[in-house]
């Protein structure tokens, strides 16, 4: 989770797409829209369902055009061939 947050901060679209699970990966993303500033990440917890499935709860803070925002998400991750991939937010 921390590496993906850092990739958003640095605008590393290729890294974000490479760490997205293939079945859920978008065709393209814009990780750093003009004027967006990331302000911090708080990982609130994590849980493992089994050896290859886990969740991470986090809050990421940002500011765009003077307006502060918080993204609070529980993300699903899946390990494939020893590598963890972001699947998506839990509904």
> Residue 1 and residue 6: Cα distance in Å, rounded?
9
pTM attached to this predicted model:
0.90
pLDDT tens by residue, 59-91? 999 999 999 999 999 999 999 999 999 999 997
Q: Characterise 66 by phi-psi region: left (phi > 0), alpha (psi -120 to 50), beta (else).
A: left
Using CA atoms, how far apart are residues 20 and 29, in angstroms rounded to an integer? 11
C-alpha distances (whole Å) from 7 to each of 59, 81, 86 are 16, 22, 13
The tens digit of pLDDT for each residue in 22-65 reads: 999 999 999 888 899 999 999 999 999 999 999 999 999 999 99
> CA 39, CA 43: separation in Å to the nearest integer?
14
Domains (range + CATH), the chain = 2-89 (3.10.450.50)
Residues facing 67 on adjacent strands: 64
């Amino acid at each position: 989770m921390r590496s993906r947050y850092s990739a958003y901060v640095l605008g590393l679209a290729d890294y974000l797409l490479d760490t997205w699970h293939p079945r859920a990966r978008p065709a393209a993303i814009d990780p750093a829209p003009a004027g967006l500033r990331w302000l911090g990440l708080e990982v609130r917890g994590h849980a493992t369902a089994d050896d290859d499935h886990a969740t991470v709860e986090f809050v990421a803070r940002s500011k765009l055009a003077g307006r502060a925002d918080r993204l609070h998400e529980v993300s699903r991750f899946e390990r494939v061939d020893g590598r963890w991939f972001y699947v998506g937010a839990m509904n």
